[in-house]
Structure 1
Amino acid sequence: MNNRRNRLAYAVMTVLTGAGFAATTPGVVVAQETSNEIEEILVTAQRRTQSLQDVPIAMQVVDSKLIDDVAAENLGDLNGFVPGLVISDGSPTQPRYEIRGIATDDFGIGTDPAVGVYVDGIYAARSGASLLAFNDIERIEVLKGPQGTLFGRNSAAGAISIVTRQPEDEFHSLLRVRVGQYGKQYYEGMLNTPIGDSLALRINGVYNKSDGWIQDAATGQDLLPEENWAGRVALRWALSDNTSATLSWDHDDLDQLARPAIGIIPVAAGQTTIPYPADPATYIDPRNAPVYNDVVGNEESRKLDQVNLFIDHTFGSADFRSSTSWRQFDTVNREDEDGTNLIGVYFDTANIESNESFYQEFKFSGRTDRIDWVAGVSYYQEKADQISDTHTYTDGIDTLGTNLGIWDGLGIPFPLYGGTTAFLADLGIPVSLLGMPWREAMYNNGDFEAYAAFGDVIWHLNDKTNLTFGLRFTRDTKKFTWTNGPHETPELDEAIAGLEQAGFFTMWPIPAEAYRFSDIIFTTDTPPGGYTDKDSWDDVSPRFVLDYKINPNVMVFGSLAKGYKAGGYNSVEVASQFENEDVWNLETGIKSVIPDAGVVLNASVYYYIYDNKQAITLDDGSSGEIPRYVIDTSDEEAWGIDVDAQWRPLDHFTLYANVAYIDSTYKEKTTLGDDPIDLSGQPTGEPHLSASLGASYEWLLGNAGDLQLSGRYAYRGESRCNADSERQGDCSLQTSFQVGEDTQRLDMRLGWTSANNTFGLAGYVTNVLDDQYVTGINNITRDTFGTPFASISEPRMWGLEATFSF
């Protein structure tokens, strides 16, 4: 414990003495010329352009400088440095977003997220296509609390708004090359050029590759590799002084191995079976455990294309924007679910999606001396297909039958397939029923539509006081189909048919039909054409805000806002349906600047009530079945504090501090399964405290350029466990390790830029202290195969970077 405190103290002192981080903190950025100048940051959090300090919303802005300084390549690389926002990116096609303790981590197409991700105002409905490579990003606005009125459906927890750079009328270009540990290679290029007097073209692309930082203990294969590339082409046409159109095409291509499962049950050389039931007292620390990956067809891939068309026109007294978007993507994620290389407990799952969506929005905005206003309508259509695929072998069915007492219940004195194979061998019959694939799959099809009309008005009551009222009406319509047939075992069926034809079962007491067994995962059959359900949900989400300028540099505000998330369906539970979510958030805060001291201080206090919150959880299973991920609901409440501060005590030296505190509990929740647990009044698992600290220092070297030293530190407190935490695997204390312990991370960077800003060199280290944590235990196969497995965080990594700009 003392060593941990010493390391924490070292990290904090390192940051606060100048090895801190050069990034945009929420609020404004202090300009470089003098310590007293404050540079205004413009944002579009309220669907119109405003100064960040005038927006009565708790939010944090990440600009391109932060992205460059910390070598962030996607949203997941910012995890921990925006307190209150958690991004789990272990599987880039199935990420998880959380704001203020609210998240929906279901990967099924029947469920929508609670955190909306928007790129240039276009909603990324599916998480599988939201964690994309950063590609020419201008800034990222993280809005905390319900954003239903301004951003729309499925932003009940908040919104992440990504703004990309647009074509400009001047020529410029950029080339960035990054190399580093574990075979890291990263290339980024951008070219912006005018074409005549009315056209501008911007082309950019990135390519990223690494070997991975885990090796298979049996084969030596590199695991957790990365390989992806992305590109964008955008063309802006100035049709007249009042009208312009921007057409863009985005492509993202990901092709790599899926995340490995790190087994925490010790497996000795030559061992062929796993002790059952799993004993937590024998768990080994996954940070030191051997890793085995025997998945057949191991793959995580994504191909995405998106076309956007933005048309802007100024009428004089009002502005108009038409936003049109078409998006299509396909993803595959086949993962190991047992963490061993033993065929007797082999189990893998795959999530396979194909998705096409269309979005259209018409928005008008304007301002007078007394009001600022924005209003619009939107339409969204999505067609989605999903396959939830699982694989094991007949060896695994034998293991299940033995572990769960199925063979004993049927009066069979041995594992069915292995015992029969042994008997056949004794008779000299060369037929084996082992090693034969067993596949089960659930097929889903979704046809979704959403209509919305919205408006937001800021009424300037006087020079100091504003009253804001916003309203959004939304209608969601969903048609959803489940299709599930018998499991697929063609090799086994052929072998059994051959034995039947040979007359084996006339002399054998077990009938042939017993070998075809029943489904073990998707146990509810559907008609051949599938089972279809259809429903719709309506919602009206209001927003009220009162803000008051105590003086030109200090604003206080209070707000009441409602958030909404549409109802839906559990993709792997036939005929399941749940209603929409609603959240009411009450908040008061202050935004302040002290120019003479170079200080920015923003803070807010909030309380929310969340009704019918949807969450994906692991049920406790039933006899003869693999435990399933199901959607359950709960009512929650929370209060918290967000503080964002920046101080520039000296020229070229800036300190940053961001803190989030939350107390989140279940108002009402009972777990699903055969042994339900009442969690009412217990914590939801969210830590009380998360924080980030940073500092940056710049040396001006005249004609020799500039030298910058920066660092950033992130802290997340210990998870607050409840009675169901151990089963869910996100909060538990084991003999050799802990899940949900408090975490810290320190990153540092040293860079040099030439005097004319055309050339730069930098070196960086992430996770300087080399702290690794157990991020979770997966228990999907613990109570059946006896094979729980874990995931861990990244080790320390270093890299070198060169940039060329002309």
Structure 2
Amino acid sequence: MSIFGSSVSNLEILPNVACPNEKGGFMKALKKQYWKTAMILTVIFIFAASQGIAAEAVNGTQSEGLLQLKPFKVSARKSEQDAQDVSASISAFDGPELSELGVTNLTNLPMFVPNLGFQQIGTHYTEFNYRGIGGVTTMGKTWNINVDGVTIPYVGLDTLFDVERIEVMRGGQGALYGRNTHAGVINIITRSPSEENTGELEGAYSSFNSRRVTGTVSGPLGEEFKYRLAFQHRASDGWMKNEVTNDDRSDWGDQVSGHGRLYYKPNDDTDVTFSLIADTYAGNNDGWANIATGNTFKSTSDFKGKDDGGLLSGQVTLNHDFGESKLTSISAFSNSRYITGVDMDVSPMPMINLNDYKETYNTFTQEVRLASTETEGLRWMTGMFMISEHTDFSTNVESMMGDAGSKSSVKTIGGAWFGQLVYEIFDGLELDASLRLDVEQRAFDWEDANSSKTHSETHTWFAPMPSATLTYAFNDNHRIYGSVSRGYRTGDYNANEVHASTIKQKCVVNPEYTLTYEAGYKGLTFDKRLSFNTSIFYIDWTDMQVSSIIDGLQVRDNAGKAHSYGFEADVNWLAAKGLNLFGNVGWLNAEFDEYDGHPAGDLKGNKIPNTNEYSVGAGVMYHHDSGFFGTVAATWFGPKYMESTNTIKQNSYTLANAKIGYRAENWNLAVFADNILDEEYLVRAYQTGPGLEPGRYGKPRSFGIEGGLNF
């Protein structure tokens, strides 16, 4: 579709950094998108109601004859709690919910989590931002995805399988989780070994020759051991066509993953879990179109690029119950690699290519914590954390102006102490005070491609991260809270820079600090059949790490201040047996207060990129006692800018997905559709020069079938 004139779809290329409001466009878009979503939801609701409400919902329970929402246990605060009792903004989903919602990748989560955004930088590389934080993309990655309690530095963690639950925490989490969690954190908890011998085999096939096979086996090994093994293979031809090479698989991808867990319980007080994760992926990185010419799903690149990576990660988790306290020790290592290449000019001419960029991470972490087991009165937790990490970078750029390259490494040694006190001041009023003291030393070594020029620096950063939350519970079902927390994004270096002159001027990037204020309400009503949670927040950034693209590469500096404020809410209503209605809404205003070092000039007042202004989502989940089930969900996303100059704008769009199927005791079968309205929307875009605007679009409309066997 053309991006010019009256046929503009959802993309807007603005002539300069200014962005005038669309006259009357908001209300027109509101009416259009509202009716699209309303029609879909109404059809499904009528269908569900007409079948009769007879089955118990997967997330509903019967209590003394009353139908209620099932309590949802989470470990977001490093101790198990009901999600409704956590005084923070959290969205949690268990494995069956994720399956029925069609969430097979973390990039699907923003449909169901307000004020969560993402940028898809490669076929297997996604970065998330929370309430605007993380929207300024840099080559330095912010790792804030935890798997079974461990932060793993790997870009391919967005693929989901054999998951027990996912917890998305929004707001400052630095006091308990440390660096790079000043906006939020995603916790992925994989399924535990089973008491009996079980097995599952699932497969799916959908548009663009996309296929997925997943299998698990689990069971006991004697009286003290249990095991679980899981694997997944997923592949796709992609939806881009390269018109230069006539390749209709220009953005293909292939990924193989495996999990293994061995659980050992020698006595009633002690358990040990040994875990291993392995992953490898490969593909082209030719999913980019030059959106300045109006292209969407057609590539004109002369260089197909590359998108490769791999991971081997292991951990040992020890728990010991002393009675009045519990000890937890988590030891983990990971070895990961990230290799990419891309045509930076997205044209048939060999103007500038990131020919080969590689990162390797060798990481060891150790966390030990001791926590009280009391559920009332004074509760406490204290712990220590240590990290040792060696990262190597290699950058090679080919251009008509000459080739350039560099090699560099960063050696990190860090540690932290953290503690938490929870005290009930009087009946209903509770204070949660946490503190983390984080120190980190990072040594940087750099040399150009010819080893003729070198540069080295070492810096140590210390960051205290306090947090305080005051909660008042009116009763077991209704509570309000207010919190304030400090967080930081760790200091770093421009490790991918290829020019010695730039390294000497802009080598080090100091830490970024945030102060987050939040107030919220969490409640259950209608005999615990309806949950409603809402919050408002304000975030103040200082020493903001910002970036700009120079000679095709991103260079970072501490040149910014910013703020973000907004609100969010979610609702879940168990309307009747088998019928769940759910929804969420988020609104966000995030902009730069200072940004005076960008080549385009002073960007003060510009919106923070990759951050939707609002989102409104709703859905229906239905189960019949015969085994039939159906789910439909739609989310209307507001506009967002794709880069800091606010030159490229993605207008509002609606994503709608649906699934209908049948589940028997030992097998299941379903058909599904994603992006039903076939919306065109950007998931990443930037500028490399006049008329050169690489953009990556989200997946077009697709249909598929999936099935599984249990044994």
TM-score (ref. length: structure 2): 0.88
How far residue 778 of structure 1 moved from its aligned partner, in angstroms, is 2.9
Partner of 1:574: 503
Partner of 1:335: 342
Q: What is the distance in 2 between the residues matched to 1:565 and 1:216? A: 38
| Offset from partner CA, 1:687-709 (integer Å, 9 cap, x none) | 431122111122222xxxx1111
Q: What is the distance in 1 between the residues matched to 2:95 and 2:621? A: 15
> In 1, are the aligned partners of 2:69 and 2:574 still within 8 Å (CA)?
no
> In 1, are the aligned partners of 2:115 and 2:612 still within 8 Å (CA)?
no
Residue identity in the other structure for 1:233: G
> In 1, are the aligned partners of 2:117 and 2:612 still within 8 Å (CA)?
no
1:405-444 counterparts in 2 under 5 A?
Answer: 439-444=403-408
How far residue 244 of structure 1 moved from its aligned partner, in angstroms, is 1.3
Partner of 2:326: 319
| Offset from partner CA, 1:570-596 (integer Å, 9 cap, x none) | 221414212212111111111100143
- Residues 1:358 and 2:389 aligned together: no
Instruction: Compare CA radii of gyration and give the structure with the larger one.
Output: 1
Say which of 103, 106, 112 aligns to 2:134: 103
Say which of 443, 468, 471 aligns to 2:432: 468
> In 1, are the aligned partners of 2:137 and 2:547 still within 8 Å (CA)?
yes
Distance 1:580 1:231, change over 3 A: same
> In 2, are the aligned partners of 1:666 and 1:684 still within 8 Å (CA)?
yes
> In 2, are the aligned partners of 1:38 and 1:595 still within 8 Å (CA)?
no
Aligned with 2:67: secondary structure? coil
Distance 1:77 1:719, change over 3 A: closer
1:289-304 counterparts in 2 under 5 A?
Answer: 290-295=298-303, 298-304=305-311
Aligned with 1:457: secondary structure? strand
Q: Which moved more, 1:64-73 or 1:716-725?
A: 716-725
Say which of 363, 380, 383 aligns to 2:387: 380
1:40-51 counterparts in 2 under 5 A?
Answer: 40-51=71-82
How far residue 721 of structure 1 moved from its aligned partner, in angstroms, is 8.9
> In 1, are the aligned partners of 2:123 and 2:253 still within 8 Å (CA)?
no
1:274-289 counterparts in 2 under 5 A?
Answer: 283-287=292-296
Partner of 2:680: 772
Partner of 1:31: 61
Q: What is the distance in 2 between the residues matched to 1:721 and 1:247? A: 42
Q: How well do the aligned residues superpose, as a CA RMSD in angstroms?
A: 2.5
Partner of 1:741: 651
Partner of 2:630: 709
Distance 1:346 1:687, change over 3 A: closer
Distance 1:617 1:29, change over 3 A: farther
How far residue 329 of structure 1 moved from its aligned partner, in angstroms, is 1.1
Distance 1:130 1:348, change over 3 A: closer
1:504-515 counterparts in 2 under 5 A?
Answer: none
Partner of 2:220: 194
Aligned with 1:166: secondary structure? coil
1:83-232 counterparts in 2 under 5 A?
Answer: 83-92=114-123, 94-103=125-134, 106=137, 108=139, 111=140, 113=142, 116-124=144-152, 126=153, 128-129=154-155, 131-221=157-247, 222-232=249-259
Partner of 2:517: 586
Q: What is the distance in 2 between the residues matched to 1:257 and 1:210? A: 11
- Residues 1:799 and 2:704 aligned together: yes
TM-score (ref. length: structure 1): 0.78
Q: What is the distance in 1 between the residues matched to 2:107 and 2:332? A: 25
How far residue 648 of structure 1 moved from its aligned partner, in angstroms, is 2.3
- Residues 1:719 and 2:640 aligned together: yes
Partner of 2:10: none
Q: What is the distance in 1 between the residues matched to 2:449 and 2:243? A: 37
> In 2, are the aligned partners of 1:19 and 1:710 still within 8 Å (CA)?
no
Residue identity in the other structure for 2:382: A
Aligned with 2:492: secondary structure? coil
Partner of 2:263: 236
> In 1, are the aligned partners of 2:121 and 2:684 still within 8 Å (CA)?
no
Residue identity in the other structure for 2:585: V
How far residue 183 of structure 1 moved from its aligned partner, in angstroms, is 1.3
Say which of 650, 663, 680 aligns to 1:753: 663
Q: Which moved more, 1:794-803 or 1:608-617?
A: 608-617
How far residue 172 of structure 1 moved from its aligned partner, in angstroms, is 1.4
Residue identity in the other structure for 2:408: N
> In 2, are the aligned partners of 1:249 and 1:306 still within 8 Å (CA)?
yes
Q: What is the distance in 1 between the residues matched to 2:418 and 2:42? A: 45
Partner of 2:531: 600
Aligned with 1:89: secondary structure? strand
Aligned with 2:108: secondary structure? helix
How far residue 131 of structure 1 moved from its aligned partner, in angstroms, is 2.9
How far residue 104 of structure 1 moved from its aligned partner, in angstroms, is 5.9
How far residue 365 of structure 1 moved from its aligned partner, in angstroms, is 1.0
Distance 1:141 1:21, change over 3 A: farther
Q: What is the distance in 1 between the residues matched to 2:138 and 2:640? A: 23
Residue identity in the other structure for 2:671: G
Q: What is the distance in 2 between the residues matched to 1:636 and 1:51? A: 34
Q: What is the distance in 1 between the residues matched to 2:641 and 2:287? A: 27
Say which of 531, 537, 547 aligns to 1:616: 547
Say which of 672, 686, 704 aligns to 2:598: 672
Q: What is the distance in 1 between the residues matched to 2:272 and 2:643? A: 53
Aligned with 2:177: secondary structure? coil
Structure 1: stretches of 5+ with no match in the other structure? 23-27, 265-282, 398-437, 487-525, 620-624, 732-738
Distance 1:463 1:367, change over 3 A: farther
Distance 1:20 1:307, change over 3 A: farther
| Offset from partner CA, 1:452-483 (integer Å, 9 cap, x none) | 01011111223412111111110011001121
Distance 1:241 1:682, change over 3 A: same
Aligned with 1:14: secondary structure? helix
> In 2, are the aligned partners of 1:178 and 1:799 still within 8 Å (CA)?
yes
Q: What is the distance in 1 between the residues matched to 2:696 and 2:643? A: 21
How far residue 527 of structure 1 moved from its aligned partner, in angstroms, is 5.1
> In 2, are the aligned partners of 1:580 and 1:612 still within 8 Å (CA)?
yes
Distance 1:235 1:792, change over 3 A: same
> In 2, are the aligned partners of 1:166 and 1:202 still within 8 Å (CA)?
yes
- Residues 1:555 and 2:519 aligned together: no
How far residue 597 of structure 1 moved from its aligned partner, in angstroms, is 6.8
How far residue 340 of structure 1 moved from its aligned partner, in angstroms, is 2.4
Residue identity in the other structure for 1:257: N
> In 1, are the aligned partners of 2:336 and 2:360 still within 8 Å (CA)?
yes
Aligned with 1:537: secondary structure? strand
- Residues 1:347 and 2:257 aligned together: no
Say which of 80, 97, 116 aligns to 1:66: 97
Q: What is the distance in 1 between the residues matched to 2:243 and 2:30? A: 30
Aligned with 1:48: secondary structure? coil
> In 1, are the aligned partners of 2:643 and 2:685 still within 8 Å (CA)?
no
Distance 1:318 1:649, change over 3 A: same
How far residue 107 of structure 1 moved from its aligned partner, in angstroms, is 5.3
- Residues 1:543 and 2:467 aligned together: yes
Residue identity in the other structure for 1:531: H
Distance 1:55 1:389, change over 3 A: same
How far residue 336 of structure 1 moved from its aligned partner, in angstroms, is 1.6
Aligned with 1:131: secondary structure? helix
Aligned residues between the structures: 665
Residue identity in the other structure for 1:461: I
Q: What is the distance in 1 between the residues matched to 2:136 and 2:261? A: 33
Q: What is the distance in 1 between the residues matched to 2:678 and 2:301? A: 25
How far residue 165 of structure 1 moved from its aligned partner, in angstroms, is 1.1
Q: What is the distance in 2 between the residues matched to 1:591 and 1:648? A: 17
